[in-house]
Structure 1
C-alpha cells in the first residue's frame, strides 16, 4: 500500500521562480534565432544568449541567498504529484553558475575558430557548433533545476544528443567512431535509467524527488531501481570501468568542445546520481553501496592516472586525467553519508566533493583549451615534440600548469581545498584508506603534469617549428579559467552554507539528505 504523499511545496510559485524558466528557455530562444537569422549573425546571437544566461544564473543566485530558501516554479500552477516543479537549491545554483561561467568562457575562446568569415565559403560547422553549445547549456540547466525523475531522463538525453555531435564535428572517421561509441554507452545507460524510473513509479506512484524523499522505504524494489539508474548514469559519467568511451571522444573533439565535455557534460549525470543517493535513498540504506561507488572511484583515480602518464598525446593525457579526477567525486559517497557520531565530518566531505567538482571543471576546461592552442601553434600535440614549447607560448603553458596544480592538490588551489576537506573527513570518520587513495592520486597527477611541463619549459636543443601565431585573447581565456581553479581554493575550509540552502541546513551545517522548501 502506497504511503500518502506529503506536499513539501508552497501553494504557489516562489518569488523569482520565473527565473528558473528563463534559464531553460533563453538558450532555446537563442537556437531558434540562430536558425532564423542565418550564419552571418550566428556568433553574435550565441554570445549574446550566453551573456543573458550568465545574468540569469547570477539573478537566481541572488534570489536564493536573499531569501535563504529554495526557489520553486510550479508549472501551470499545479503542485506535484499532479503537476511538475522546477526547483533551485544551493547545490543547483552552484552548478548553474558554474555552467554559465565555463560555457561563456568557451564561447569567447571559440569566437575566432567558429566565427563567420565573409571572405570564405559558407560552412555549416559554425552554426552547428553554436547551436549545440546553447543546447548543452539549456539541457544542463534543466538537469540542475528538474525535480522529476522522468524530466531528468529527458534532460540527460538532450545533453547526450547535443554532446555526441560535438565529438565528431570535424567529420573525420576516427572521431565518428569515438562519437558512435559514446552514443552506444549513453543509450545503454538511458535504457537502464528508464527501467529504474518505471520501477519507482510502479512502487510509489510519483516521480517527484521531494515527494519520494518522504515516502521511500527500505525495500528491494527501491534498491533495484536505484541500482539500475545508478549504473546507467555511471556509463554516462564514465566512471571506471565504464570509461572506455571517454578518452577518444574527449581527445578527438575540437578544443572548445573537449573543454565543455570534460568540465560540464559528465557532471550532469553525476548530479542526478547525487539526487538519487542523497535526496531519495534513506540514509540507513546507503552504506554498502556507497563503499562500492567509492571503491570504483579509487580504481578510477589509480588506473586513470597511470594510463595518463603513459600517453604520447597531450589531449589523450588530459582525457585520461578526467577519468582519474572523476573518481574523486565518488569518494564523497561513503564520507558524506557519515554516521550519527560524525555528522560534522559528513558535512565537510559533502562540501569537499562539490568543491572538487567545481575546481575540476575550471582546471580541466583550462587544460583542454591550452591543448588546443598547442595544436594551433605547432600543428600537433605529441608530448615528445613539445620540448621548449613553453618558451614560445608561455601563457598557454602557465594556464596548463595552474590547472595541473589544482589536479595535483597543491595549495592554494581549489583542488587542494577539496582534497584537504575529504582527507579530514576520511581520517575523522576512521576511513583512512580513502585518505591513502587521495594522497597517491595527487602524486600520480604530479607525474603526468610535470611530464609535460618539465620538457616544455626547458631550453630546446633545436629550433622549434611554429605552424602559426596563437591568439592572445584565447590564451587569456584559458588562463582566466585556470586562475578561477586557483581562486576557489580560498573558499573557507568549512561546510559552505550556500550548499545547504533548500536542503535542510541547520545552524550553518549541511545535511546531505533532505530537501527543504
Structure 2
C-alpha cells in the first residue's frame, strides 16, 4: 500500500516554481486569514480576489503531478527531517480542500452580515485559514511528527471556531469536543512513542521498511487508531458530533463535516496500511462498526426533529460506508481486482460526500437563517419562498443517496463491485439498507417542506450569492460522477 500513498522515492526533482506553488498552497490561506481578521471583509468581492492565487497554486501543482506522477520535498530542521509528497491522491485532496475552503470563505461575509454575530467573529477568518493550511499539510505529510502537527492545528482551530458564537450550547459542545480531541491526540502520541522507541523512525517510508508485525505494532496501531477514530467521529465514538454542529456557524459545519473528520480517517487508513498490512481482525472490526454506523446514523437522522441534527447524523452514516471498505484495503485475503475497486470507490465516495455535505449544511443554514426555525416542522411550507435553497438540498441529496449520475452512485457502484467480488455480502446488505434509510430521511424533510397547509411565515432575505455558492458545491458533487474518469486516473497513477 505504500505506493498508493506515494511513500516511495521520486525520480523527479521539483522545479523552483513547484516550490513556490507549494509554499503558496500551504501558507496563503493562513496569511489571507490574518489579513481578513485585521480588515474584515463585509462583501464577497475581497474574498473573491484572495482566492485565485491559492487555487492557481493548486492547479499548477496538479500539472506537475500529471507530468511527474510523484514529487517529494525534504528538509532538515535541527536534526529532524521533514518530508512532503505529492501524488495523485494527495493532489486530489489538496484541490478539494482549496475549492471547498474558497466556497466557505465566499459564503461567510453574507452570513456575518445577516446574523449579526458576536464581536469575536473577525477571528473566524484566521481560524479558517489555519484549518485549510493544516488540512493541506495533512494530505502531503509523510512523517508522524508532521502529521501530528497538522492534526493538532486543525483540531484546535476547529474547536476555536465553534466557540466564537459565544452561545452557552456552543461553549458546552466546544469544550467537550476540545477534551475529546485532546484525548485522541494523547492516544496518537502514545502510539508514536512506541514506534519511535522500538524502531527509531518517524518517516512513514522508512517505517514501512523496518516495521515487523508483532505486539508493538499491534499496540501502536490500537492506540493511534482509537485516537484518530475519536477525532474522525467514527461509530461508536461519534457522540460529540451532533451537538457540535447544532450550535456551529454554517461555514464551520461545512468545513468540519466535509473535510476535518476526513483528515483523521485518511491518516488512520495510511498508518494501518503500514502497521497492519496483513491484519485480519482489526479491519473487520472497523467494518462491523461501519455497518452499525450506517444503520444507526440513518435511523437517528430519520427520527431527528432538528434539520442540523438530521444533516449531522447523516455524516455518521456516510462515514460508515468508508469504514466498511477497510477489510478490502487492508489484509492478505483481498484479490487485486477487489482492492483496486475498493481503493477507487473509497476516495470517490469521500470526495463526493465532502462536496455534497458542505452544500447540504449551507442549504440548511440558509433555510434556518431565512426562517428563524431550526426544526423540520418549523420549516414546513418553505418551498413557497425558498425554492433555490431546497433545490440545493435536493441536488446534494442525490449524491448522498447514490442516485445516478452523481459521484455517490459511481462510488457505491465501485464499492458494491468490490464487495461482490470479495463476497462481502453483509457489507452489500448494509450499503443497500443505508441507501434506503438515506432516502427515507431526505424525503421526510421534503414532505414538511412542501406542506401546502403550513402557515405562511415571514422570511428574511439572504445575502446575494449564498444559495449560489451552495449550489455550485452540490453540482460539483453531481458532475464528479460524470467526470469520475479524471480522479480515478489520478488515483491509478499512484501505481506507476
Aligned-pair CA distance for 1:376 = 1.5
Aligned-pair CA distance for 1:443 = 0.4
The answer on whether the counterparts of 2:100 and 2:255 sit within 8 Å (CA) in structure 1 is yes
Query: Structure 1: how far apart are the matches of 2:395 and 2:114?
Result: 32
1:244–1:116: structure 2 CA closer, same or farther, 3 Å change rule? closer
Query: Structure 1: how far apart are the matches of 2:368 and 2:147?
Result: 37
Q: State the match for 2:4 in structure 1.
A: none
Map residues 30-429 of structure 1 onto 2, 5 A cutoff: 30-35=32-37, 37-39=38-40, 47-68=48-69, 70-76=70-76, 83-114=81-112, 124-278=119-273, 280-281=274-275, 283-284=277-278, 286-337=279-330, 342-429=335-422
The answer on whether the counterparts of 2:283 and 2:331 sit within 8 Å (CA) in structure 1 is no
Q: State the match for 1:445 in structure 2.
A: 438
The answer on whether the counterparts of 1:149 and 1:207 sit within 8 Å (CA) in structure 2 is yes
The answer on whether the counterparts of 1:239 and 1:326 sit within 8 Å (CA) in structure 2 is yes
Query: Structure 1: how far apart are the matches of 2:257 and 2:342?
Result: 23
2:477 pairs with 460, 464, 485, which one?
Answer: 485
Q: Structure 1, residues 304-343: CA drift from partner, whole Å, max 9, x if none?
A: 1101111111011101111111111111211223656720
Query: Structure 2: how far apart are the matches of 1:463 and 1:8?
Result: 63
1:55–1:195: structure 2 CA closer, same or farther, 3 Å change rule? same
Query: Structure 1: how far apart are the matches of 2:442 and 2:118?
Result: 37
- Aligned residue for 1:401, secondary structure, equals helix
Aligned-pair CA distance for 1:497 = 2.7
Which deviates further from its counterpart, 385-394 or 426-435? 385-394
Which deviates further from its counterpart, 94-103 or 464-473? 464-473
Q: What is the TM-score of this pair, normalised by structure 2?
A: 0.92
- Aligned residue for 1:73, secondary structure, equals strand
The answer on whether the counterparts of 1:43 and 1:130 sit within 8 Å (CA) in structure 2 is no
The answer on whether the counterparts of 1:305 and 1:321 sit within 8 Å (CA) in structure 2 is yes
Query: Structure 2: how far apart are the matches of 1:413 and 1:432?
Result: 24
2:31 pairs with 29, 32, 36, which one?
Answer: 29
- Aligned residue for 2:85, secondary structure, equals strand
Q: What is the TM-score of this pair, normalised by structure 1?
A: 0.89
Query: Structure 1: how far apart are the matches of 2:313 and 2:166?
Result: 23
- Structure 1: segments with no counterpart, 5+ residues: 1-6, 507-517
Query: Structure 1: how far apart are the matches of 2:468 and 2:102?
Result: 14
1:469 aligns with 2:461: yes
Q: State the match for 1:499 in structure 2.
A: 491
Query: Structure 2: how far apart are the matches of 1:418 and 1:425?
Result: 11
Which deviates further from its counterpart, 336-345 or 360-369? 336-345
Q: Structure 1, residues 23-64: CA drift from partner, whole Å, max 9, x if none?
A: 2222232244345x5446897765544332222111111110
1:192–1:340: structure 2 CA closer, same or farther, 3 Å change rule? closer
- Aligned residue for 1:75, secondary structure, equals strand
1:465–1:45: structure 2 CA closer, same or farther, 3 Å change rule? closer
1:415–1:473: structure 2 CA closer, same or farther, 3 Å change rule? same
Query: Structure 1: how far apart are the matches of 2:42 and 2:250?
Result: 23
Aligned-pair CA distance for 1:432 = 1.2
- Aligned residue for 1:83, secondary structure, equals strand
- Aligned residue for 2:305, secondary structure, equals coil
- Structure 2: segments with no counterpart, 5+ residues: 1-6
